């Protein structure tokens, strides 16, 4: 009996140990599985992050040591590794748009040789043109970043280089080609160093004058195209009117100011005349400038600084640039 009981105890003990061991092993395996799953998920997350599309910069040869030669190679081959046929990649703004912005920032850098800009843009146009979707995306990027005056990358020189390339691409589509040629011609006008386009303007008294015949003091004329109904115009005009340094310069005949209204609401213009300084020349062109596309006015106000011969010193400049150039 004792032996049977003893054997039973041994059996139950062994069974307990076996059960405990299985249970413990099962828990350990479960924990290991959980740890394994977590590790696998972590690896998958890391892999996913690693697989997030990145801009495919060209590999610069190790033989190029100095920064300038490396930069020259980068600009010449910037888009060589980009897959313009990959619609998903083209639509990924983190890759495509950011890559484009970085590219034009390099081209606009004052330390970049201007002669490198056109070939670099030409290479981009050559590579994207055969792919219709990519072409549309990049054409919009060029317009948004280089042609919009409100863009921090607004740059007529680079935009002109792009337009020249596209004129050459659209040899068979005359309508598109002419559109590019018109835009190139428009932004080529009134460039610094060239004589500003002449136009007729009408004074509040009804008398007429021309830009060419406008009297200029001290060889400096600030030409302002404005619209009193434009909030941005109103803000800048108020800043200029309240600028004591500008007022002193005009009073001392160190500068002449011609402000020209280019829109169609004559009532709004007439109502705004009382707010304009008496020592400014105020006029309206009765929409001649826009109809004849004499100036590339994309936003208001548009500021030009001219010399006494009406040669352009600054084109479509900020007021800060005008201030600096005049030493106010």
Residues 55-77 pLDDT 10s: 999 999 999 999 999 999 999 99
**Domain contains 110:** yes
Give how far Cα 318 sits from Cα of 163, 268, 322, Å. Answer: 24, 25, 6
**Domain contains 62:** no
Q: How far is CA 180 from the centre of its chain?
A: 19
Q: Which residue range(s) make up the domain with 25?
A: 1-47
Least confident of 36-40, 220-224, 289-293: 36-40
pLDDT of 178 over the 80 cut: yes
Q: Are residues 208 and 309 in the same domain?
A: yes
What pLDDT is recorded for position 14? 39
Residues 226-280 pLDDT 10s: 999 988 888 999 999 999 999 999 999 999 999 999 999 999 999 999 999 999 9
Closest by alpha carbon to 307, among 266, 268, 256? 256
What pLDDT is recorded for position 149? 83
Q: How many residues does the chain have?
A: 328
Mean pLDDT computed over every residue of the chain: 86
Give how far Cα 205 sits from Cα of 126, 201, 202, 260, 288, Å. Answer: 55, 11, 8, 14, 19
Please give the residue that has the higher pLDDT: either 85 or 25.
85
Give, to the nearest 10 degrees, the angle between helix 117-128 and helix 67-77.
30
The structural domain count of the chain equals: 3
Q: Are residues 206 and 322 in the same domain?
A: yes
* pLDDT-above-90 percentage for the chain: 73
Q: Are residues 204 and 278 in the same domain?
A: yes
Instruction: Report the DSSP pairing between strands 302-306 and 208-210.
Output: unpaired
**Domain contains 285:** yes
């Amino acid at each position: 009996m004792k032996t049977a009981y003893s054997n039973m105890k041994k059996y139950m003990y062994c069974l307990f140990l076996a059960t405990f061991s299985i249970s413990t092993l099962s828990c350990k395996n479960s924990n290991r599985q959980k740890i394994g799953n977590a590790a696998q998920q972590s690896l998958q997350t890391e892999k996913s992050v690693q697989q997030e599309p990145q801009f495919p910069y060209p590999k610069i040869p190790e033989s190029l040591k100095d920064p300038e030669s490396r930069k020259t190679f980068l600009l010449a081959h910037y888009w060589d590794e980009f897959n313009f046929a990959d619609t998903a990649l083209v639509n990924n703004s983190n890759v495509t748009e950011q890559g484009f912005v970085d590219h034009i920032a390099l081209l606009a850098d004052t330390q970049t040789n201007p002669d490198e800009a056109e070939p670099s843009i030409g290479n981009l146009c050559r590579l994207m043109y055969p792919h219709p979707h990519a072409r549309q995306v990049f054409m919009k990027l060029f317009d948004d970043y280089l042609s919009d005056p409100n863009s921090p990358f607004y740059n007529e020189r680079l935009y002109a280089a792009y337009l020249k390339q596209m004129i050459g691409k659209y040899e068979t589509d005359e309508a598109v080609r002419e559109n590019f040629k018109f835009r190139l011609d428009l932004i080529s006008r009134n460039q610094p160093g060239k004589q500003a386009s002449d136009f007729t303007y009408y004074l509040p008294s009804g008398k007429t004058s021309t830009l060419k015949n406008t009297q200029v003091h001290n060889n400096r004329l600030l030409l302002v195209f404005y619209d009193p109904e434009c909030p941005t115009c109103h803000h800048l005009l108020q800043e200029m009117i309240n600028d004591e340094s500008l007022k002193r310069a005009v009073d001392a005949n160190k500068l002449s100011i011609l402000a020209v209204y280019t829109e169609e609401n004559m009532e709004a213009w007439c109502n705004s005349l009382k707010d304009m300084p008496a020592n400014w020349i105020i006029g309206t062109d009765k929409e001649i400038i826009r109809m004849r596309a004499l100036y590339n006015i994309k936003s208001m106000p548009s500021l030009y600084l001219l010399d006494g011969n009406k040669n352009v010193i600054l084109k479509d400049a900020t007021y800060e640039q005008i201030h600096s150039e005049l030493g106010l």
